[in-house]
Amino acid sequence: MENNTLKSSVGIGQKIAFGFGMLANQMFPAALGVFIIVLVQDLGFAAIMWGILQFAPRLFDAVTDPLMGFISDNTKSKWGRRRQYVFIGGILMGISYVAMWQLYAENGLTYNFIYFLLWSLVFYLGLTIFSIPYVAMGYEMSDDFHERTQIMAIAQFVGQWAWVIAPWFWIILYEPEIYPEGAEQGVRELSVWVAIACTLFAIAPAIFIKSESTRNRTDLKPINVANIGNSIKDIFINAFGAFRIKPFRKIAIATFLIFNSFQVIAPFTFLIIVHYLFGSDTSAADYWPALHGSVGALITSFLVIPVITFMSKKIGKKKAFIISQLISIIGYILFWFLFIPGKPYMFLFALPFHSFGIGSLFTIMMSMTADICDLDELENGNRREGVLGAVYWWMVKLGFGVAGLLSGLALQFVGFDADNVTEFAIDGMRIFYTLIPVMGILIAIYIMKDYDITEERANEIKEQLKLKKNNK
């Protein structure tokens, strides 16, 4: 629905349809995070190559995300501003994801590196076309302070199932009875099924979340090649000028720090479990890497998200954010003590604490971003859900890319070699596993300590907007 007809009550069907989009939005990168291990473990990619493959697309995103935000915000069509892009982006993601993983060792390392890099750029273009309008749809669904949190909570609940399912891909990929030719064969075939399912989930919001025609809107800028070309400087100034909005700058930087620090160490989970807990015996590790991810996601779905939603309503979004992140620090510290060779089940006791970090992050921060869209309209006269969503999610994707590069550099620093894993490499990964996210979280909390959009302030902004519109 368009922003001129915001509602304070959204049907459960609409919320679930939005949640399906989040499942696709999270399943693609979740599966990618599992599949990419194959590049290092089975196809011989150097750690630095792994890092480049994750960082380069984010530089591409720096250009495409703001452009997509501008296009989405200013589209005139009978389908509204968002739906058609969500549909097209979902299809493009599915096709490119399959193509990206058609890798064969006999083609050579250089060929596979270039091939994967080029197709990953196409995939991330599809992700941009899908995700920027999709996130903006969520911001527009309600103008109610608490319902926004509820919408994002439902979306995150549905999206978390990606992280329940994806870790089991490790088991499937390295199961010789399923893929006798190894994980290389596994990613080629499993990517097809992942792509089909995710594409269907991705296009669900485009089909089921209705929008009003924008053909007669007079406040939208014309979209054509000449206009975009002539205005490209203004587009980027406008997009990244969003950082002048102090509350938005705080949540964007805090999200980057927390998500980036988490993603830096996320690939180490598989490596620590296999090489530290099970002495480099992948078969002995069996389902334990999968359990780490899926149990954490289940805890997030059934414990963290409901608790965070309740806390946000009772004590406010900022306090709920800070408390949840402090709880997650306990989890990261516990991992140092509970990764115990011969007792793999012990790390499960750290997961309820650890899950509060990422589990609460997007539920709260996406709700906060919706509140900031109102503030932006009040101060600047335009609703820019697409632009703010583009900049916010570019920070998320930049965090993912920087994390990939830092992961590769960290592995190189500790001297990780899959064929000869040293004690120094294992200890280094374990230190990074605790230290990096704890530092990121503490800095993020410091940044957010004076975030000032409370429920009372949000309601004041809404009333001022109503008065402003009535006086026109």
Q: For residue range 117-128, list pLDDT tens digits in order.
A: 999 999 999 999
Give the per-residue pLDDT at 337: 96
Give the per-residue pLDDT at 442: 97
Greatest CA separation for the chain: 72
Report yes or no on 45 lying in a domain: yes
Tally Cβ neighbours within 10 Å of residue 180.
Answer: 8
Report yes or no on 377 lying in a domain: yes
Percent of the chain whose predicted confidence (pLDDT) is above 90: 37
Report yes or no on 223 lying in a domain: no
Tokens 């009535």 sit on residue: 470
Least confident of 44-48, 169-173, 410-414: 44-48
284 or 197, greater pLDDT: 197
304 or 46, greater pLDDT: 304
Question: Mind giving me the DSSP string for 208-245?
Answer: HS-----TT-SSSPP-SHHHHHHHHHHHHHHHHGGGGS
Q: Say how far apart CA 270 and CA 292 lie, in whole Å.
A: 9
Report yes or no on 28 lying in a domain: yes
- pLDDT of 471 above 80: no
Q: Say how far apart CA 49 and CA 180 lie, in whole Å.
A: 27
Q: Say how far apart CA 2 and CA 139 lie, in whole Å.
A: 10
Report yes or no on 221 lying in a domain: no
Give the per-residue pLDDT at 166: 87
Q: What is the average per-residue pLDDT within 239-248?
A: 81
Q: Which two tokens stand for residue 52?
A: 């480049």
Give the per-residue pLDDT at 43: 83
Give CA 422 to chain center in angstroms: 33
Report yes or no on 4 lying in a domain: no
Least confident of 12-26, 59-73, 259-273, 293-307: 59-73
Structural domain harbouring 142: 10-211+238-470
Listed residue (202, 166, 259, 153) closest to 23, CA to CA: 202
Give the per-residue pLDDT at 213: 63
Domain count, the chain: 1
Q: What is the DSSP letter of 92?
A: H
Percent of the chain whose predicted confidence (pLDDT) is above 70: 92
Q: Measuring CA to CA, how many Å separate 402 from each of 96, 251, 263, 384, 471?
A: 22, 18, 9, 26, 47
- pLDDT of 238 above 70: no
Q: What is the average per-residue pLDDT within 65-87?
A: 84
Across all residues in the chain, what is the average pLDDT?
A: 85
Least confident of 51-55, 70-74, 228-232: 228-232
Listed residue (347, 332, 328) closest to 273, CA to CA: 347
Report yes or no on 228 lying in a domain: no
436 or 211, greater pLDDT: 436
Q: Measuring CA to CA, how many Å separate 78 from each of 89, 154, 217?
A: 18, 28, 11
Beta strand spans in 95-232 (E): none
Tokens 């820019």 sit on residue: 384
Q: Which two tokens stand for residue 376?
A: 């932006």
pLDDT band of residue 1 (cuts 50, 70, 90) is very low
* Tens digit of each residue's pLDDT (9 = 90 or more) over 408-426: 788 889 988 877 889 999 9
Listed residue (164, 367, 166) closest to 247, CA to CA: 367
Collapsed DSSP state (helix, strand, coil) of residue 62: helix
Give the per-residue pLDDT at 224: 63
Q: Say how far apart CA 233 and CA 424 lie, in whole Å.
A: 48
Query: Is residue 276 a contact partner of residue 346, using CB atoms and an 8 Å limit?
Result: no
Q: What is the DSSP letter of 141?
A: S
Residue 416 φ/ψ region, left for φ over 0, alpha for ψ in the -120 to 50 degree band, beta for the rest: beta
- pLDDT of 47 above 80: no
Least confident of 42-46, 333-337, 422-426: 42-46
Least confident of 58-72, 102-116, 166-180: 58-72
Least confident of 148-152, 213-217, 416-420: 213-217
Give the per-residue pLDDT at 221: 66
